[in-house]
Chain A
Amino acid sequence: MEWGLVLTVSILTLLFLFATGMPIFIAFLVVNVGGVFLLFGANGFGMFSNSLYNTVTQETLMAIPLFVLMGEILFRSDAVRILIDAIDKLVGNIRGRHYILVTALSTVFGALSGSAVAVAAMLGRSVLPTMDERGYDKRLSVSAVIGGASLAPIIPPSLLVIMVGSMVDVSIAKLLIAGILPGVLLAFMMVVYTYIRILRDSTLEPPREEVARPPVGAKELFGALAQTLPFLIVIFSVMGLIMLGVATPNESAATGVLGALIAAAIFKKLSFKMFYQSLIGTCMISAMILIIIACSMFFGQLLSFTGATTGLVTMASELGLPVLGTFFVLMFIPFVLCMFVDLFAVMLIAIPIYEPLLGVYGFDPIWFWMLFLINMTLGSMTPPFGYTIFALKGAAPDFSMEDVYGGAWPMVGLFILGMAIMYAFPGIVTFLPSFF
């Protein structure tokens, strides 16, 4: 049980350091530098440096800054404000429409991207400040964004699904399709949750008289519709180009930026200064997140090296509990690990150990791996730590960590409820893939 000690000490150290309020990446550096010296001495320098190199040159992470840039441009060009106005007119005087809008938006962008971090950072930069400015409840706004962003790896396209699919014996195509209904279910639950909150507490929205407005004429309605068109350009430049086989999912982040620039031009807000400011803003937000990812990546490597990660996952698979208990433990361990370690690393370790267990417990592979994936995404948005949380905090500096936590918790509850529903009704996951 040597790994147990290593794991306990390193995680407690991290928890303590986080609590002191030091930058997250510095806390990881403390553990990493200390760990390297303890384990390898100066021989470990190369491993440490090359791990950083590996992260900051990784093509799959490039979608993060590009997606954030898309959000920056949409925000700085006032596109988000215009869109919210337009939807306002289109949807009419129903309550909570902006929360619904944000949930819908984040779900759409989640569907477009495969990265929860990218979507959280993008919407945190564009939609959240606008909502805040207009007097919407901070925490409820965070809920809408963080929940929707977390659908990104679940609804296709999704790099995570492809990674899982190539490591286990299931069809990638089926696994991709399997994500659609769970994604829709979770999005629907978010909408219902938001409605319940608003109906019970009217202070969550700006005062009614401020947002209520006289009935809209047909002409105005048409104008509002026209104002949403630039957004369709953005969505097309991401999703459309993937579907048409023009761009890969990674490249679509760049074509999305182009779409955003076109939208900005239509709103007559495109200027060199705006573009430059967007670039710098994007670099700052993305680097805050990526430096944490880079440092925690190496922390994950050290944990793996000491055998802690494998030990923990193996232990989970060998407890000999009843089926539901086993399922719970199998999900719980990666969930906890995702707070400190990158999703990919956890997958690399857990999948080969879990795979043989599916037959033993009679779990349907598509169903199991989809829930596994949802669970990993959940781990990244569960306070106190996780990439999705850090991404949102980095993108929305005006929101305190408490606001972010406060917004994240209800979504954690919803995801757990959603997973329980999928446990009880596996058809939600397995129905669509059965046609292919």
Chain B
Amino acid sequence: AQFRMLSAWAPNYVFNVGVLTSFEKNLAELSGGKMRFNVLGPDVVPTFEQLQPVQAGIFDMAYTYSAYHSGTTPIAIGMDATTADPVKRREAGLFDFVDKEYNKIGIKLVSFPPLTPYHFVTRNALNGRQPSLQGMKLRSIPSLQSLILNLGGSPVTMAGGEIYTSLQRGVIDGAPWTQVGVKDFKLNEVANYMVRPEFGYVSTMILMNLRKYNSLTPEQRAWIDEAGRKTELDSLAFFQELIAEEVAELKSMGMKITEMHPNDAAMVEKYWNDGLWEMAKASTGAAGKKFHELALETGMTK
């Protein structure tokens, strides 16, 4: 079978390269070449509007990020507040929990590959005082809003295309960015520092139209499930190597490390988790609360 997959990112962006290449390979191997998919990008459906056409069945699959469809359901955002270990996530029942919730909106969760932590890139070194980002203006997105506030920073919302110029001219003092991706967006040209510690972990999602999934034979479904599972492990390895490489490269291009105050360093992971759980619970009723409880019980979140 040939599936139509929508991706939230341009074809040459590292997220696509890292995850979809592996998913394609795994699916082809498992199915003996019987299952393939072709990838269409944000030029076909804008990044933030991609869930609906998969629900409607116009596309069979989507490769996207939970926050990109948080308007429909924010519950999967909670997954980013759990330990970035795909095996444990499945064992703890977190994967199945999200899957069940998505089934209610006509979507099958195929894979939840973890990619990269966040870090702040800043124009200047931090002064070492607490709160660490006091007096600084940082580009913000909803999922990082409360973390930035907790670190004393002023969150600034602006369009993605404005970040480069804003950092260059000092409209903002820094921006949170996935560790893999700073180089792609050339932020190293306008920011001199990488803030440590890094925090959180971004996981992307491969989704499928539920009706389409259910129309397949059990064998075919097993191929997809297994390919999804393997892709999580592959991409974790792929990105861990890449992160090390990219951070080293950013350093060689002149970016330096700057540290948060130790008290903030100890708390930043908690700030990240709390912010995401708050979002995940909003407008999901009891489900969000249950998901959080499950993650707590299984020791997957703090």
Residue numbers of A with Cβ under 8 A of B are 40, 43-44, 46-47, 50-51, 53-54, 59-60, 157, 159, 162-163, 165-167, 171-173, 242-250, 300-301, 304-305, 309, 345, 348-349, 351-352, 355
Nearest 3 A-B pairs (CB), nearest first? A245-B170, A245-B169, A50-B49
Taking CB atoms, residues of chain B closer than 8 Å to A53 are 49
Contact status B161-A43, CB under 8 Å:
no
Given contacts A157-B165, A248-B165, 5 further A-B contacts (CB under 8 A): A59-B158, A60-B159, A166-B164, A173-B186, A250-B158
Q: Is B45 an interface residue (CB 8 A)?
A: yes
| Interface 9-residue window, one of B19-27, B50-58, B225-233 | B50-58
Q: Is B267 an interface residue (CB 8 A)?
A: no
Given contacts A47-B58, A172-B186, A352-B11, contact A305 B40 (CB under 8 A): yes
Q: What 1/0 flags go to B153-176 for Cβ under 8 Å of A? A: 000001101101110111100000
Contact status B10-A352, CB under 8 Å:
yes
Residue of B nearest to A59 (CB): B159
For chain B residues 217-243, which have a beta carbon within 8 Å of chain A? none
Contact status A304-B43, CB under 8 Å:
yes
Contact status B165-A348, CB under 8 Å:
no
Given contacts A301-B43, A345-B43, contact A166 B186 (CB under 8 A): yes
Residue of B nearest to A165 (CB): B186
Contact status A50-B46, CB under 8 Å:
yes
Contact status A162-B161, CB under 8 Å:
yes
A167 to B16 CA separation, bound complex (whole angstroms): 13
Contact pick for B162, options A43, A166, A248, A351, CB 8 Å = A248
A238 to B40 CA separation, bound complex (whole angstroms): 38
Residue of B nearest to A175 (CB): B186
Contact status A40-B58, CB under 8 Å:
yes
- The main secondary structure of chain B at its interface with chain A is loop
Q: Is B12 an interface residue (CB 8 A)?
A: yes
Taking CB atoms, residues of chain A closer than 8 Å to B168 are 173
Residue of B nearest to A355 (CB): B12
A157 to B12 CA separation, bound complex (whole angstroms): 25
Contact status A166-B171, CB under 8 Å:
no
Taking CB atoms, residues of chain A closer than 8 Å to B3 are none
Contact status B161-A242, CB under 8 Å:
no
A243 to chain B, nearest CB (A): 7
27 contacts between A and B (CB under 8 A): A40-B56, A43-B53, A43-B58, A44-B56, A47-B49, A50-B49, A51-B45, A51-B49, A54-B48, A162-B165, A163-B161, A165-B186, A166-B186, A172-B189, A242-B169, A243-B169, A245-B166, A245-B170, A246-B171, A248-B165, A248-B166, A249-B165, A301-B44, A305-B44, A345-B43, A348-B41, A352-B12
Contact status B162-A304, CB under 8 Å:
no
A60 to B160 CA separation, bound complex (whole angstroms): 9
For chain B residues 22-46, which have a beta carbon within 8 Å of chain A? 40-46
Residue of A nearest to B12 (CB): A352
Q: What 1/0 flags go to B169-206 for Cβ under 8 Å of A? A: 11100000000000011100110000000000000000
A119 to B189 CA separation, bound complex (whole angstroms): 29
Contact status A167-B43, CB under 8 Å:
no
B168 to chain A, nearest CB (A): 8
Taking CB atoms, residues of chain B closer than 8 Å to A44 are 53, 56, 58
Contact status A250-B159, CB under 8 Å:
yes
Contact pick for A172, options B41, B48, B164, CB 8 Å = B164
Taking CB atoms, residues of chain B closer than 8 Å to A305 are 40, 44
Given contacts A243-B169, A248-B171, A301-B43, contact A171 B48 (CB under 8 A): no
